[in-house]
Amino acid sequence: MKGALIIFLRSLILFFLTLILTRIMGKKNISKMTSFNLINYIVIAIIACLTSLNVITNFAFGLMALLIWSLIPIALDYAAMKSKKINDLINGKETILIKEGKVMEDNLKQVKLSGGELLKGLRDKNIFAISEVEFAVMEHTGDINVLLKSDQKPLSPKDMGQKVSPKIETQTVILDGSVINEALNNLGLSQGWLNEQLSNIGVSLDNVFVGQVDSNGELYVDLFDDLIQMPKPQDRELLYASIEKCQADLETYSMECNNAEAKAMYRKNAAKLKQVMDKLQPYLLK
């Protein structure tokens, strides 16, 4: 009974100590870890397990080993943030695999990467021809990042000379039928606005599983009842259509009016409104 109590207390202490230490060491995705980081976490887990089960009988020695394997990597990570040389020494440097469309065979040998593995890494990026690649680099985590040649890149609104509305983070304002006031405050919105939006689409709050407000200020809701079809928000489209109708009416008046002064006024304001429409189009029409 005494032995079981000792193991229980050791496990309890080590559980919370390991939790604190790993949180201090930072959030790291396993797939993005370096080999050393992975080994470091494995050693910490082994030391904690052996000390917890009393395989390492001296608890103080177990704690000492655990702290060494935890605190030294924290110190090295801090030093790596301050110095690129230390960072390269600890984590390694990135390696260029393809430069100006040519495969760097010597660098492939340096990182022990075969031609087949390089092709697989490119296919993981949906690239099936080396001829499409301008530049490829292997990061210290082993990931391969690729820059396509200019004529292989997908067109962006900037390439086409088009302006698009700026994007902000989508905020979840309803979850499991409960309003998240903090998210509403971040958007500068009130619960009254939210209730009005729900009323407009004929939905009650308690039937909403998830509600999100996107960068355009539109509310998207997913209901508990999947049989209910939700109407697509069209506020921006309707606003643009109203402005477009006003501009068309002004042009019609300018053609039908017999008074030269009024005709010029209608034509001038129609042109101004057309300029406003051109500026608003990226923001109001998707």
In the sheet where 95-99 sits, what is the strand order?
102-103, 95-99, 133-138, 144-148
Residue that the structure tokens 């919105």 belong to: 189
Please say if the pLDDT value at position 188 is more than 80.
Answer: yes
Count of helix runs (H) and strand runs (E) in the chain: 10, 8
User: Using 50, 70 and 90 to split pLDDT, how confident is the model at 242?
Assistant: confident
Q: What is the CATH number of domain 171-232?
A: 3.30.240.20
Give, as one character, the DSSP assignment of residue 142.
Answer: S
Number of CB atoms found within 10 A of residue 136's CB: 24
Query: What would the pLDDT profile of 127-147 be if each residue is shown by its tens digit?
Result: 888 888 999 999 877 888 999
Identify the burial level of 213 via C-beta atoms within 10 angstroms of its C-beta, where 0-12 means exposed, 13-18 middle and 19 or more buried: buried
pLDDT at 47: 92
Share of the chain above pLDDT 70, in %: 86
pLDDT at 229: 60
pLDDT at 157: 66
Give the residue among 32, 9, 13 at the shortest CA–CA distance from 21. Answer: 13
Topology match between the domains 95-152 and 171-232: yes
The residue extents of the domains of the chain are 2-89, 95-152, 171-232, 236-284
Average pLDDT over residues 193-218: 83
Angle, vertex CA 218, rays to CA 179 and CA 158, nearest 5 = 135
CA distance 98 to 118: 10
The residues, ordered by sequence, that sit 6+ positions from 203 with a Cβ below 8 Å of its Cβ are: 221, 223, 228, 230
Please say if the pLDDT value at position 183 is more than 80.
Answer: yes
Average pLDDT over residues 222-248: 72
pLDDT at 160: 65
Phi first, then psi, for residue 41 (nearest 5°) are: -65, -40
Give the residue among 194, 191, 241 at the shortest CA–CA distance from 218. Answer: 194
> Beta strand pairing status for 171-175 and 208-213?
antiparallel
Token readout for 159 is 């390439």
Q: For domain 95-152, which CATH number applies: 3.30.499.10, 3.30.70.930, 3.40.50.150, 3.30.240.20?
A: 3.30.240.20
CA distances from residue 134 to 73, 113, 146, 161, 279 in whole angstroms, order as listed = 36, 19, 8, 24, 36
Token readout for 265 is 């006024």
pLDDT at 154: 74
Name the residue with higher pLDDT: 248 or 141.
248
Name the residue with higher pLDDT: 98 or 162.
98
CA distances from residue 243 to 25, 173, 234 in whole angstroms, order as listed = 56, 31, 14
pTM to 2 decimals? 0.53
User: Using 50, 70 and 90 to split pLDDT, how confident is the model at 46?
Assistant: very high
Name the residue with higher pLDDT: 172 or 86.
172
